[in-house]
Amino acid sequence: MGDAPAFAMACFDPRGGLGTAFGVGGKVITPIGAINAPGWASAEGMTIQSDPPRLVLAGWVTWGGGDNQFAVARYT
């Protein structure tokens, strides 16, 4: 994966370790926008969609020092 603004999530087991059944090694990193586009992303909130069950992250992304733009990622 090249450099790109990204959302990141981690899942922890009851003992505080990474929940390895989630994503890759307990972590998911999702590029938001074009690969090799300088910028940053910040996931600000998460909810669980009930039917069908999905995780939804919402936040902001900025490319090249421009204005903040709203971004949403939905996970199965």
The per-residue pLDDT for 35 is: 67
The per-residue pLDDT for 63 is: 78
pTM for the whole structure: 0.76
Which residue pairs, CB below 8 angstroms and at least 24 apart, start in 6-11? 6/30, 6/31, 6/32, 6/41, 7/32, 7/41, 7/43, 7/57, 7/59, 7/71, 7/73, 8/43, 9/43, 9/46, 9/55, 9/57, 9/75
> Tens digit of pLDDT per residue, the chain (76 long)?
457 889 999 999 999 999 999 899 999 999 887 666 678 899 999 999 998 999 999 999 987 767 788 999 999 8
